[in-house]
Chain A
């Protein structure tokens, strides 16, 4: 078509659509279809990539991070026993938390009936580590070894006080089900670059503290109102790593290939009959599925990893479904073009028997987390991979249930908790924010979880105010309607 004709054709199409009263949405779709058609015009047999591109105006600015690994410690790890060192609490052992500190804070109904709120200092030893001098407890000796690469934020806070709403809030920007998850937003906005793996992958490793567990929900990685293809795909530790990836018994790869070749031919006939672009897309999706079937077994096969790498992640790395194996898998996923990997590690809800249970939990994650940082760094991936670690809220300084010299429990505490971030776009070796002497209130540099999400988006080259999706008559955003700001103080 010469430029003149093309112009005329476009004009007539525009006028047509404008007369329709439903123009612009249709026009945009038409352009998309037009592009797809051009892609396919080169030859029907050359099924083009169905990898979805980034939105046209994204990234909004040059991203520091191209990939995200999010290590969610589900159940809410105690900040008081890990990163928020409060030496003064020793003197307050078993004394009531001063009313001036609690200050009318709403309590979960698990402790609102307690008559006393006795302060429970941590029984773990803290020390300063690295050039940065970051305080870390002896529960996390390996993470202590990489503090110069991470940035600990001590003043994250939220509003939700129970797990289900709090985790949903953290992951989707809203306490109620139905919104799009962080990973699906990134996948939607930034597109996918992997030819044979999904853009957003979720791992749900095993955990040690069986009695401190909370549930997970599909909605934490669901696309909500976004198109469903942006949902996270859960890779599993048991069963097929990807659902339905394995051919049925008695069907080998060549048999499947033969069937697919004939399927493509017949679907081409359908395309000739109906000219429906969906048919073309479907052909390409079957090819993508076939490639996934080939690439997933390779993905989960660690046999080509060096001995030193495997040792770095610890002995659990060879057991599928452990946190160590999942951490290594996370690295392998991002190496293969996956944009977002999220690990949900359960078992951090220590209402009682906290010292023993948190020790077991830290035993699961400490070495693999540190290994992941080192591994990424060695491979030059850390500079453009953002790593985030943390829970959905914090835990109370006062003990829930029995308090003795050796044991205590802690209830939910939304007012401040610790997370750490590393890599793409985040200052290394930093401790950010200050809490009061009881780790009960933020006194300097509060970071709402909205700000946290805005920060993650910022690192990925997204202005969180400008990435929106029309649903229910609103421009929906991950960060919602209340003002949110990236945390400048931790950004490079």
Chain B
């Protein structure tokens, strides 16, 4: 998770080096910070006895000590006291000073008790490059610093590692993948002095580089493909992930990289990419849990963003200051909420809606998609205009106002014409819904008919109508049908939905369509198949359906078994008294609805009018009701208006579908009026204190505001992050890149550069690199090249007994880094060695193999991530970066190798060594399938003899040739496995069938299986999963 540091503190007692004066930051501050500052430090609310020891003036004023006079110093009296009530730190703090620490404090006071500002809060400067005795060992400036420090301890660099190991090391560090045997051969053969340079340049130019670098950035910003809390549904923000990959590949300068993520939307003429980059702030985990209190969630999201930004860019543990002033660093609670004020005015909602695209989002349509949408918009506009025109043309006389009232008459209401009416759901069983024009087949009326061809059961359906159909009890339902005489169906069926599907009429074979119980309203048999080759009007009297009065239809289905069937105009015909029928009389309709809200099937403005008493409705409102009535309700106009309306609906549905197919990503946008920000007392969302404005911590260089209204913007903050005088950002990022190469940063606590963090192992080098990074244009590839080109990086990694004793953690770098590969590199390596990897870049997260029942026992049923269905084909073999990341149940094979859950920022992964890892590598289907893949390659590409093949397999995984002894062991392994599988050919066949990809043809199974076990052995080697 966040930071795994040893639980012991890191003071630096130099007590035995009597000749050098103690340094406050290195020797004293860690002791005071660990033991005293919690009660005598920066946090004014926790301060005891009104004494603070972190500021010299205050400590002196409180007479805590007298510089130069240990014997007159209260502080020393207290720490050396043997009286429980006097002793500091007190027993209940569970802190105690060692004898050495006490001596250091004593000596420090004797030496004058001088303070230094905390190193990380002063802008870095380039120190002079140190002189070293053994200058010929240094390849670049890095080495001068490293070597100088080694020489001080009587150490020096180890010899350069072998070319094979070096190539493998640098290939993994820059691309997360191994070199191929061919690449190894080429490097071995290249005797040019710049052979290594060329390799580094090749790797930095590879698209794999950006993928690998992105991984660590995505850990830091807690990128994932789900929302993270409660339902933990899918979210669409993968274009941000792809943006990060591209940024590294394009070598976007780190200052620009920073600015675009924090404030890309505020840049002048912000590009689409710059807006995608603001997804940075949308990576926060969100909830949609029922019962949540919106203010509380919004508060938490903002706190999380503040904490993450402070950690990722500044290396500050600012989260402490959400509740109280920081106890160890000069971050006040007010500082925290000023930073928070930059992030608390997003338009994103408190509840994510369990939807994948929680607004604000950015659509990433292609030009073709844009053109199509524009075209449809035009057609929709035209259709709407036509409807308006048709309504205007109507010479409508309200029958209720005629004298004498008109006689009873037959009225036909058309529901379906040219397209389906506006509904929540449309679907088809069989091929997709198809309306055809006259040029493509028979059309009864209007412009189009519905066509369907199928060998079996097939249908078109709409349900959950926006405006349900009124069913007159005396009416007759009808629909027109045309059967293709060359391809007759066995039966056709009409179905009407009353909230459930339980009313049907069937023509033809009563048993062909299995729906409903025969001879009930669920399946009324209406007769033989209608005559083919002509339009036939099918009719069903409403009374046959035995509906309760007032029931409305919510949908319809047009069903057939086999054949080719065309459907056209469908609706109901009934006897009506025009003066009292709401479908014919505006007055009857308005009277029926009365003066109350008619409900959400009506547009809001119509609802508002109905809420008024009729006598209070003004003329324009009455006109609006009339217009609405004629276009939506009046059945006399249906013949002309229904097809137009349905066409508009159809176009809208197409638009919606395409819209859903267009990639979209969650982005940041500010509210027009920012939310107010307050210091939240004790970190409680409902306890606002003092109001604050956006700002940066007071102890760091001041923010420059670009605006005139005096309110700082996120863009100001983003620029401030990469200001030359701002001491943290460059150091923090350089430190993390160093950590990528060497496993540990100069500052081991890479998320904490504050007083409780560990002092840097090479402060001058860290500062030199930070300044150089900035001065060199924040050029990440340049810095990576400098690091991997250093002699320090190129050393052999053998741990000698002396170094094991002196520097087991390799902080001084008297040897090269040897570290277990990270989770993704381990899997990608296996896929790569097995020849299975698919190097397609980008896109929505893929779902590789995962054991059954990883998501299911945890998920909220009904969540869209409650069931894991692995992909087929390429999705199984993509680089691990592209694996769909579900925060509450991440991939177990990845988590086993210390990947974080991405619920929280993570700037440093740990490296554990567990039995679970062994089980994954031996047994996980993807690793065993990769072993078979490697076996295939060994047999096909590895040469003829067993020895050649064993060497090929070993080299593919480790880049080097096996020693004679190793080869001997491998020969034995092969012989043993061959004997076993020869004796058990069934087992061989089973072993070869593991995984979705197919075993190669034409290889004898026992031999193939034996090689698969040898490959499994090779892929499990300590050296295979380690950067050596």
B820 adjacent to A278 (CB under 8 Å): yes
- Closest chain A residue to B861, Cβ basis: A213
Q: What separation, in Å, do the CA atoms of A283 and B292 have in the docked complex?
A: 49
- A247 interface residue, CB < 8 Å from B? yes
> Do the beta carbons of B319 and A472 come within 8 Å of each other?
yes
Task: Return A393 CB to nearest CB of chain B, in Å.
Answer: 11
What residues of chain A lie closer than 8 Å to B917, measured between beta carbons? Answer: 285
If A227-B910, A275-B800, A278-B913 touch, whether A218 touches B977 (CB-CB below 8 Å) is no
Residues of A within 8 A of B304 (CB): 176
Contacting residue for B1022 out of A18, A20, A282, CB 8 A: A282
Residue A150 lies at the interface, judged by CB distance under 8 Å to chain B = no
CB-CB under 8 A for A161 and B291, given A22-B811, A263-B1020: yes
Asked if B285 is at the interface (CB within 8 A of a chain A CB), the reply is yes
* Nearest B-chain residue to A211, judged by Cβ: B861
Interface-lining segment among A25-33, A355-363, A383-391? A25-33
Q: Kindly list chain A residues whose C-beta atoms are within 8 Å of the C-beta of B1022.
A: 267, 270-271, 278-279, 282-283
Q: Which residues of B contact A289 (CB under 8 A)?
A: 915-916, 918-919, 922
A229-265 with Cβ < 8 A to chain B? 229, 233-234, 236-240, 242-252, 254-256, 258-259, 262-263, 265
Given contacts A255-B980, A274-B799, contact A247 B923 (CB under 8 A): yes
Stretch at the interface among B385-393, B636-644, B660-668, B802-810: B802-810
Whether the pair A219, B888 counts as a contact (CB closer than 8 A) is yes
Partner pick for A20 among B5, B761, B1023, CB 8 A cutoff: B761
Complex partner residue of B232 from A215, A466, A472, CB under 8 angstroms: A215
Interface residues of A in 176-209 (CB under 8 A from B): 176-178, 204
B512 at the interface (CB under 8 A from A): no
Chain A residues with Cβ below 8 Å from B861 are 210, 213
Query: Is B851 in the interface zone, CB < 8 Å from A?
Result: yes
Of the listed stretches B186-194, B651-659, B724-732, B988-996, name the one at the interface; the rest are far from the partner chain. Answer: B988-996
* A433: Cβ under 8 A from any B Cβ: no
Interface status of B710 (Cβ within 8 A of chain A):
no
A218→B901 contact, CB < 8 A? yes
Contact at A215–B859, with CB atoms within 8 Å?
Answer: yes
A178 to B228 alpha-carbon distance, docked (Å): 12
A18-B13, A25-B5 known; A110 vs B290 contact (CB < 8 Å) = yes
Interface residue B688 (Cβ < 8 Å from any Cβ of A): no
- Specify the chain A residue showing the minimal Cβ separation from B972: A262
B329 neighbours in A (Cβ, 8 Å): 473
Instruction: Assess whether B948 is interfacial by the CB under 8 Å rule.
Output: no
Question: Which residues on the A side are within 8 Å of B991 (C-beta)?
Answer: 248-251
Q: Does A469 contact B (CB under 8 A)?
A: yes
A474: chain B residues within 8 A (beta carbon): 317, 320, 756
Binds B, one of A8-16, A330-338, A373-381, A423-431: A8-16
In the assembled complex, the CB of B182 is this many whole angstroms from the nearest CB of chain A, namely 24
What string of 1s and 0s marks CB contacts (under 8 Å) between A469-488 and chain B? 11111100000000000000
Interface hits, A28-68 → B, CB 8 Å: 28-30, 33, 37, 50
- Residues on B with beta carbons closer than 8 Å to the beta carbon of A239: 851-853
Contact status A258-B976, CB under 8 Å: yes
A-B contact count (CB 8 A): 342
Q: Most B CB atoms within 10 A — which of A15, A17, A28? A: A17
**B 290-334 contacts with A by CB, 8 A:** 290-294, 300, 304, 317, 319-320, 328-329
Given contacts A26-B811, A215-B232, A263 and B1021 within 8 Å (CB-CB): yes
Do B291 and A216 touch (CB < 8 A)?
A: no
Please determine whether B922 and A247 come into contact, CB atoms closer than 8 angstroms: yes
**Residues of the B chain whose Cβ atoms lie less than 8 Å from the Cβ of A319:** none
CB interface residues, B 382-431, toward A, < 8 Å: none
Interface string of B842-877 (1 = CB under 8 A from A): 000000000111100111110100000000000000
Q: Contacts A106-B293, A226-B4, A267-B1022 given; indicate if A274 touches B15 (C-beta within 8 A).
A: no
Q: A149 contacts the other chain (Cβ, under 8 Å)?
A: no
Is residue B904 contacting chain A, with contact meaning CB distance below 8 A?
Answer: yes
Q: Are B291 and A270 closer than 8 Å at their CB atoms?
A: no
User: Considering only CB atoms, which chain B residue lies closest to A238 in the complex?
Assistant: B853
B809/A26 in contact, CB under 8 A: yes
**Chain A: minimal CB distance from B684 (Å):** 9
Q: Is the CB of A22 within 8 A of B758?
A: yes
* Interface flag for B128 (CB, 8 Å): no
Asked whether A412 is an interface residue with its Cβ less than 8 Å from the other chain, the reply is yes
Closest CB in chain A relative to B996 CB, distance in Å? 14
Query: Are A269 and B965 touching (Cβ within 8 A)?
Result: yes
List B499-528 residues whose CB lies under 8 Å from chain A: none
**A32, closest chain B residue (CB):** B808
User: How distant is A462 from chain B, measured CB to nearest CB, in Å?
Assistant: 13
Asked, given contacts A176-B300, A251-B1013, A270-B1023, whether A217 binds B888 with beta carbons under 8 Å apart, the answer is: yes
Instruction: Check: A214 CB closer than 8 A to any chain B CB.
Output: yes
A115-138 interface bits toward B, Cβ cutoff 8 Å, 1 = contact, 0 = none: 000000000000000000000000
Which residue, B759, B924, B991, B1028, has most C-beta atoms of chain A within 10 A? Answer: B991
Is A114 interfacial (CB 8 A cutoff)? no
- Please report which residues of chain B, range 19-36, place their CB below 8 angstroms from some CB of chain A when the two chains form the complex: 26
Chain B CB within 8 A of A3 CB: no
Q: Evaluate contact between A227 and B4: CB separation under 8 angstroms.
A: yes
A245–B980 alpha-carbon span in the complex (Å): 22
B11 touches which one: A23, A244, A252 (CB < 8 A)? A23
Given A270-B1021, A412-B291: A282 touches B94 (CB 8 Å cut-off): no
Instruction: Assess whether A162 is interfacial by the CB under 8 Å rule.
Output: yes
A450 interface contact, C-beta 8 A: no
- A19-B153, A215-B232, A215-B858 are known contacts. Are A282 and B15 too (CB-CB below 8 A)? no
Q: Does B230 contact A (CB under 8 A)?
A: yes
Which of B294, B328, B910, B919 is A228 in contact with, Cβ under 8 Å?
A: B910
Partner of A274, one of B6, B755, B797: B797
Residues of chain B within 8 A (CB-CB) of A236 are 853, 857
A262–B973 touching, CB < 8 Å: yes
Chain A proximity mask over B891-932: 1 for CB below 8 Å, otherwise 0: 011010010010110000010111111111011110010000
When distances are taken between beta carbons in the complex, the residues of chain B under 8 Å from A23 are 10-13
| B852 contacts across to A, CB distance below 8 A | 238-239
Tell me which of B7, B287, B973 has the highest count of chain A C-beta atoms within 10 A of its own C-beta.
B7
Measured CA separation A251–B1014 after assembly (Å)? 12
* Distance of A37 Cα from B761 Cα, bound (Å): 26
A224 at the interface (CB under 8 A from B): yes
Question: Which chain B positions have C-beta within 8 A of A248?
Answer: 923, 925, 928, 991, 994
Question: Could you list 4 further interchain pairs (A-B, Cβ under 8 angstroms) beyond the known A215-B859, A225-B2?
Answer: A162-B287, A177-B903, A236-B857, A278-B818
30 contacts between A and B (CB under 8 A): A16-B807, A22-B759, A22-B811, A24-B9, A26-B809, A204-B858, A225-B4, A228-B912, A233-B916, A243-B920, A247-B922, A250-B991, A250-B994, A250-B1009, A251-B928, A255-B977, A258-B980, A259-B973, A259-B1020, A266-B1017, A266-B1021, A267-B1021, A271-B1022, A277-B799, A278-B820, A278-B913, A281-B913, A289-B916, A292-B915, A473-B328
